[in-house]
Amino acid sequence: MSKVMIIINPSSGKEKAGEILPNAKEVLGKIYEHVIVRKTEGEGDASKFAKEACEGKFDAVISMGGDGTVNETVNGLAEQEHRPKFGIIPLGTVNDFARALHIPLDPVEAIEMLQNSDVKEADIGKVNDQYFMNVLAVGAIAEATYDVSVEQKTRLGSLSYFIEGAKTLVKKTPFPITVEHDKGRWIGEAYLLVATMTNSVGGFEQLAPEAEVNDGKLHTFIIKSLSFPLILKIIPSLIKGEIKDHEEIEYIQTSKLYVSTSEDLLVNMDGERGNELPFQAEVLHNHLSLFVPSVMIERK
């Protein structure tokens, strides 16, 4: 008896998730004998539902929501004895993980893709006892994203994160940081640390153009200096995918990170508030099986 669980965040997609749900149920009903729907009402619900699917040995779990819903679902699937195949119907503001997997950002097209998809193994990251699938960040700019309201995201999209981050430049101060990685240690002062597992961060798909969802690496950027003039110089490099070559940026590829500081800072994981520093991060290689367009398999 085949069965699939849809985990849906009703407030995603400008609250249009409910309109799309019947279509998803119809399409998935052609593939699986039983379609179970779980609607999130608060923080942690998606993780709880995903664990329920693992314990019930579901064949697949489909996340309908933004990156936050995807993150919670991943946290429920991670390191479970039985892990269902994982699908994403993007309904959020940025949808970085969907972008990296070349999943259509139009939810109707993403639903249709599930009828003729392939399965690809993908890495996830682990920080202490939490998990992420796309990016972790440390610094005042990263923490500023917590102040972005639902209304801002609805009105301005990914630009809302940039605006809140830019506000911190007015009172910018670097922080001391020690970063231990596969090839050694970096010690110095920084304004921001970003470690990504995919090529898409905040909707920018050229931060780490060489990053693949299953390369076993954390592509880590340490921004050592930051100002409005410097940002204007960095933007062309970002667009070209050459930001790692900038003199004010330290670029590290590693499978593990240990990050510490003398200041009170939190790690931001997939846009969500995470652990206090210090933290240990590692890659769980090929940990999840994801539904992706057939063309993505052909590219590899």
Q: Taking Cα atoms as reference points, which of 101, 118, 52 lies closest to residue 80?
A: 52
Structural tokens at position 164: 């809140």
Amino acid code (one letter) for 269:
M
- The residue from 272, 276, 282, 298 that is catalytic is 272
Q: What 3-state class would DSSP assign to 3? A: strand
- How do 3-8 and 34-39 pair as beta strands? parallel
Active site residue 41: no
Q: Taking Cα atoms as reference points, which of 13, 35, 33 lies closest to residue 25?
A: 35
Residues catalogued as catalytic: 272
